[in-house]
Amino acid sequence: MKRFVLSVMAALPFMLFAGCGWSNASSHTAPAEAEKVAEAVAEKSGKDQIFEPGSFENPQVCAGCHSDIYEQWAHSMHANAWENKWYQPDYMMANEETDGLTEMLCGPCHAPIAARTGLLPPADGSKFDATSRRGISCDFCHTVTGVAEMANMGHISEPGNTKRGPRGDGESLYHEVAFSEIHTKADFCGSCHMVIHPITGVHIIDTWEDWKNNEYGKQNITCQNCHMTPTPGVGQNPGRSAGMGAQRDNIAFHTFTGGSSYIQDALGNEKQAEMAREFLRAAAEVKLSEKVADDGTLELTVDVHNVGAGHKIPTGTTYIRKLWLQVEVMDGNGKVVYSSGHIDDKNNVDPDAVFFRLLFLDAEGNLTGKSWRAHAIGYDRRIPAKGKDSETYSIKLPGKGEYTVNTRLMYRSFTQATLDEIHERTGDSLPPVTSVEMAAAQTRVKF
């Protein structure tokens, strides 16, 4: 069986449907760089490295025996990686800006089977078969035999009758079963969740590298330990992998829960959306300390602790996400005398709020959330695993009395401006982005 290694030049990640690829923001493509990338992509996608269409099983076939796991996966972000109205507009925008060069820099992560069977390009997916449209599906993951590049989707695939996983002791009448060490490691996930800009070298997504170098990585608490369990704190998921399979103390949960509650709600997946909110709420805590000076100035220090995530928060496509502090001070009559981080009437977050996120600099030195334009990191204020970040507010209280201080740590998967931009470009109206309260704290002060 031929083996196809999708090299470091071949893709950007599927974690949360965002801009991907590379380019000069103002002049679209630099000709010399474009030619170099085009040659590299062409070399790595030659016919001798592509499997025949149909080499990978349609996930519907897997559902026949693995019905529970199939249902979990079918409601996951992986299953919706390609046919996704949040990802597609930026993917096509990147493709246009780079004269088509990002179709094989972004597309393979969202439609890996299409990339490995020669059905991608073109970027619009017009050649895709039914299996290719199912995103990151069963047979793609369970025919991986190793990782050649620890970034940019460097998996090694070997499609065929042997399906690989973390045990290897099961039996099937339909296919062979084999143990795969790579399926037990965070590297399996990290090969996609670690993305390096192929021209500028900017670390567009650093989740795996971050994990590897923090306490979770050093203790080998893997991605699977957290994201393949039903909810935070539930380490065991008893059941059977297949209808006729052996009863196990723990079966990997294939919803791959993260923080994507907004998209899950928009897709109608209420159960999965609530699970995502549970993950978000388990990640952080807020603690307050305060002091009122003689002149009535409240010095409020807000400490945000990352208590539950095995990586910085936020992570992944942090350049399209927002994590911020919302602070409100009310007097004894309930009148708001100070506000920061609230939502305006157009569903946008107060631009003067304290944000925990990452943004890039484009070729002209402007902040951007479009990863294909990344020439450097322009803003990076994320909260490390088992770490904290602090912000002190100086708030002038209007008079004597008792005041209530409410502080909330809020999260959004997208900015509203991103969705508005999609509407302007495509005419598609997406549901307004919603906020999730990850943590909160309250205190009272007197002046």
Output 42-48 pairs: Cβ under 8 A, ≥24 positions apart: 44/5, 44/6, 44/7, 44/9, 44/10, 45/10, 45/104, 45/115, 47/118, 48/2
Specify if 265 maps to a domain.
Answer: no
Best CA proximity match to 436, nearest among 294, 321, 308 = 321
Same domain for 438 and 291: yes
Q: Give the CA distances from residue 404 to residues 285, 342, 395, 407, in Å, rounded to whole numbers and listed in that order.
A: 19, 17, 13, 10
In a domain, 87, yes or no: yes
What does the alpha-carbon distance between residue 249 and residue 243 come to, in Å, rounded to a whole number? 15
Nearest to 143 by CA among 170, 121, 116: 116
pLDDT given at position 193: 92
Report the domain count for the chain: 2
- List the single range of 36-50, 259-273, 384-398 with lowest mean pLDDT: 36-50
Question: Where in the sequence is the domain holding 34, given as residue range(s)?
Answer: 4-199+222-256
Whether residue 266 is contained in a domain is answered as no
- Give the other-Cβ count within 10 Å of 173's Cβ: 6
My answer on whether 296 and 157 are in the same domain is no
359 strand-pairing partners: 379
CB 187 within 8 A of CB 173: no
- Measuring CA to CA, which residue among 401, 410, 395, 411 is closest to residue 329? 395
Task: In whole angstroms, give the CA distance from residue 430 to residue 80.
Answer: 16
Q: Which pair of tokens denotes residue 330? A: 């009310």
Answer for the pair 108, 10: CB distance below 8 angstroms, yes or no.
yes
Q: Give the closest residue to 190 by CA, choosing from 173, 201, 169, 205.
A: 205
Lowest-confidence region among 1-10, 59-68, 209-218, 382-391: 1-10
Q: What ranges in 245-376 are assigned the alpha helix state H?
A: 261-266, 270-283
Q: Please report whether residue 208 resides in a domain.
A: no
For residues 267 and 84, give the distance between their C-alpha atoms in angstroms, rounded to a whole number: 10
Contact 104, 45 (CB under 8 A): yes
241/380 same-domain check: no
Q: Which of 213, 239, 256 is at the close of a domain?
A: 256
Strand pairing report for 402-412 and 176-179: unpaired
Q: Is residue 214 part of a domain?
A: no
Distance CA 4, CA 159 (A): 9
Q: Residue 399 maps to which CATH number?
A: 2.60.40.10
Residue 356 within a domain: yes
Section 356-383 average pLDDT: 95
CB-hemisphere CA count at 13 Å for 394? 3
The answer to whether the beta carbons of residues 261 and 277 sit under 8 Å apart is: yes
Number of Cβ atoms within 10 Å of the Cβ of 268:
9
Query: CA-CA distance, 162 to 140, in Å (whole number)?
Result: 12
156-193 per-position pLDDT tens digit: 999 999 999 999 998 999 999 999 999 999 999 999 89
Q: Are 195 and 341 in a shared domain?
A: no
Distance set, CA 97 to CA 31, 295, 302, 367, 418 (Å): 13, 55, 41, 18, 17
Residue 209 lies in a domain: no
Rounded mean pLDDT, 354-364: 97
Together in a domain, 94 and 166: yes
Strands 162-165 and 176-179: parallel
Contact 120, 132 (CB under 8 A): yes
Question: Which has the minimum average pLDDT: 20-29, 199-208, 288-297?
Answer: 20-29
242 in the same domain as 98: yes
Let me know whether 244 and 312 are in one domain.
no
**What pLDDT digit, counting tens, does each position of 213-242 carry?**
999 999 999 999 999 998 887 778 999 999
The tens digit of pLDDT for each residue in 55-114 reads 999 999 999 999 999 999 999 999 999 999 999 999 999 889 878 877 877 788 889 999
pTM to 2 decimal places: 0.89
Same domain, 349 and 242: no
Do residues 45 and 178 both lie within one domain? yes
Identify the bridge partners of residue 394 per DSSP, sorted by sequence position.
Answer: 299
Residue located via tokens 């995530």:
309
**Bridge-partner residues for 172, per DSSP?**
none
Q: Cα Rg for the chain, rounded, in angstroms?
A: 23
CA 419 to chain centre: 17
User: Which tens digit of pLDDT belongs to each residue from 389-442?
Assistant: 999 999 999 999 999 999 999 999 999 999 999 999 999 999 999 999 999 999
Bridging pattern class, strands 297-306 and 284-292: antiparallel
- Domain end, chosen from 208, 241, 256, is at 256
Q: Identify whether residues 238 and 336 lie together within a single domain.
A: no
Euclidean distance between CA atoms 131 and 137, whole angstroms: 8
pLDDT for 24 beyond 50: no
In a domain, 273, yes or no: no
Q: With a cut of 60, say whether residue 210 has pLDDT above it.
A: yes
How many angstroms separate the CA atoms of 249 and 246, rounded? 10
Percent of the residues in the chain that have a pLDDT greater than 90, as a whole number = 77
Q: Return all residues near 73 (Cβ < 8 A) that are at least 6 apart.
A: 59, 79, 137, 138, 254, 255
Q: Are residues 153 and 90 in the same domain?
A: yes
Percent of the chain at pLDDT > 70 equals: 89
- pLDDT for the residue numbered 57: 97
Phi, psi (degrees; rounded to nearest 5) at 301 = -105, 125
Q: What is the largest CA-CA distance in the chain?
A: 79
Give first-to-last CA distance, the chain, whole Å: 76
Amino acid letter, 133: R
Assess whether 167 and 304 both reside in one domain. Answer: no
